[in-house]
């Protein structure tokens, strides 16, 4: 399923369609959304460097982590960070989102509060002005696409951070603009659902073509709190979860898939749902008001039902009527009828019309007038 997501982001936008958009959602019960985001980012980067992706580069909007974190992440995954300027641009909205450090530096209070990194970054000094943020994203993308004909991908590591400084309609407008931009290949972002109202997640789902939910293995009831006995289960939620993805198809239908998510070191591993997990397997079975299997008595009763189109075996040979009978068969039937039923004086004066169907006879076409050959 994760491969399906990466493949959809790799293929990008089709001719005449908007760019595919993915929204990753997690909660405090299973805070594994950042692992999924990093996994998709590295997979897309690998496809770009291999020349398999429609996008020629990535514009990364760093909100929850500094650019140095992503430089270390790419380095650990085996990418050459020194040459990342060819396929990666980072819009740093983490270091100084409101421009306070810049004002202190202008006054001489601090010298250089920003971290140095090997990645080519552009500093965002006011996250409240989303129009400037949008312009910065597009400008960084055009730097990657030098000829102006290619496309670039946009990755936003935390929409929740933007919602701290801007309204939901403003964010929806920016995402919609990126979604329909003719040079954007794909978009994917991360949202912490339990920090916002339900309408925030609903809005992002409406704008997305794919949305992935990271859910805990064991669902808790409302108001239930963690106790000392639940510590093993809480620790498990930080290492394992359910990965539920829904795809919006072009015909309007929604395809849902579910897998399991494991944290291994600094990465993740996504596998199929294990049969050992009874809770997960049971949640996949639809709740219906009828039995899916027949009992032994129902099987016996079904076997006794006589269907009208079946030959019941009366002892006579099976004859398939084809509309024609040979002359010998007709004579044999006449002889058999004369033996079984002797002729009487009443029957001696009766005649019989025998018609043999000719295979060459054809019915006239529906649009042919049968009276065309009459000379009137």
Q: Note the pLDDT tens digit of each residue in 148-163.
A: 678 999 999 999 999 9
Buried b (16+ CB within 10 A) or exposed e, 290-306: eeeeeeeeeeeeeeeee
Q: Can you tell me the distance from the alpha carbon of 369 to that of 308, in angstroms, rounded to the nearest whole number?
A: 40
Residue 351 within any structural domain of the chain:
no
Residue 323 within any structural domain of the chain:
no
Residue 309 within any structural domain of the chain:
no
Which one-letter DSSP state was computed for residue 44? H
Q: Can you tell me the distance from the alpha carbon of 137 to that of 216, in angstroms, rounded to the nearest whole number?
A: 34
Q: CB-based contacts of 363: which residues, under 8 Å, 6+ apart? A: none
For residue 368, the model assigns a pLDDT of 58
Place of tokens 């552009």: 122
Helix 168-180 to helix 130-144 angle, to the nearest 10 degrees?
20
293 token code pair = 């299997």
Task: Return the half-sphere exposure (C-beta side, CA atoms, 13 A cut-off) of residue 161.
Answer: 19
For residue 335, the model assigns a pLDDT of 61
User: Phi and psi of 123, rounded to 5°?
Assistant: -85, 130
Residue 325 within any structural domain of the chain:
no
297 token code pair = 């008595």
For residue 344, the model assigns a pLDDT of 52
Boundaries of domain holding 188:
2-219+231-284
Buried b (16+ CB within 10 A) or exposed e, 214-224: bbbbeeeeeee
Q: Report how far Cα 345 is from the mean position of its chain's Cα atoms.
A: 85
Task: Return the half-sphere exposure (C-beta side, CA atoms, 13 A cut-off) of residue 232.
Answer: 1
Query: Which of the residues in the chain have pLDDT under 70?
Result: 1, 110, 112-113, 147-148, 218-237, 273-292, 306-351, 353-376
Query: Phi/psi class of residue 238: alpha, beta or left (left: φ > 0; alpha: ψ in -120 to 50)?
Result: alpha
Q: Note the pLDDT tens digit of each residue in 194-241.
A: 999 999 999 999 999 998 999 887 665 555 555 445 555 566 667 788
88 close to 60: Cβ distance less than 8 angstroms: yes
Q: In DSSP terms, which residues pair with 152 in a beta bridge?
A: 184
Residue 246 within any structural domain of the chain:
yes
Domain count, the chain: 1
For residue 280, the model assigns a pLDDT of 45
pTM of the model: 0.68
Residue 193 within any structural domain of the chain:
yes
Residue 310 within any structural domain of the chain:
no
Q: Can you tell me the distance from the alpha carbon of 371 to that of 376, in angstroms, rounded to the nearest whole number?
A: 10
Residue 273 within any structural domain of the chain:
yes
For residue 245, the domain's CATH number is: 3.40.50.300
For residue 162, the model assigns a pLDDT of 93
In this structure, what is the dihedral angle of CA atoms 259, 260, 261, 264, given to the nearest 10 degrees? -130
For residue 284, the model assigns a pLDDT of 47
């Amino acid at each position: 399923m994760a491969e399906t997501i990466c493949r959809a982001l790799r293929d990008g936008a089709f001719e005449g369609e908007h760019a595919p958009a993915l929204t990753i959602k997690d909660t405090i019960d299973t805070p594994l959304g950042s692992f999924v985001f990093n996994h998709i980012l590295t997979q897309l980067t690998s496809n770009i460097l291999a020349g398999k992706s429609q996008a020629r580069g990535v514009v990364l909007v760093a909100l929850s982590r500094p650019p140095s974190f992503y430089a270390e992440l790419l380095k650990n995954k085996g990418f050459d960070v020194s040459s990342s300027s060819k396929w990666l641009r980072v819009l740093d909205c983490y270091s100084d989102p409101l421009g306070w450090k810049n004002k202190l530096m202008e006054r001489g209070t601090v010298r250089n509060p920003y971290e140095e990194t090997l990645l080519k970054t552009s500093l965002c000094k006011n996250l409240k002005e989303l129009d400037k943020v949008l312009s910065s994203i597009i400008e960084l993308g055009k730097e990657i696409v030098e000829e102006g004909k290619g496309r670039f991908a946009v990755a936003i590591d935390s929409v929740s951070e933007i919602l701290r400084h801007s309204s939901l309609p403003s964010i929806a407008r920016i995402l919609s603009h990126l979604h329909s931009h003719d040079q954007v290949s794909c978009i994917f972002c991360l949202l912490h659902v339990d920090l916002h109202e339900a309408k925030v997640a609903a809005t992002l789902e409406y704008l997305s073509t794919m949305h992935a939910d990271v859910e805990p293995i064991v669902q808790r009831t409302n108001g239930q709190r963690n106790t000392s006995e639940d510590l093993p289960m809480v620790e498990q939620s930080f290492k394992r979860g359910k990965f539920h993805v829904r795809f919006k198809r072009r015909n309007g239908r929604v395809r849902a898939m579910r897998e399991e998510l494991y944290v291994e070191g600094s990465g993740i591993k996504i596998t199929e749902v294990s049969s050992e997990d009874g809770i997960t397997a049971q949640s996949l079975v639809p709740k219906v008001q009828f039995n899916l299997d027949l009992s032994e008595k129902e099987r016996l009763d079904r076997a006794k039902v006589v269907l009208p189109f079946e030959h019941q075996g009366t002892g006579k040979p099976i004859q398939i009527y084809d509309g024609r009978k040979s002359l010998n068969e007709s004579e044999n039937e006449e002889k058999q009828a004369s033996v079984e039923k002797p002729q009487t004086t009443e029957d001696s004066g009766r005649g019989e019309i025998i018609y043999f169907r000719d295979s060459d006879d054809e019915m006239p076409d529906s649009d042919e007038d049968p009276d065309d050959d009459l000379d009137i």
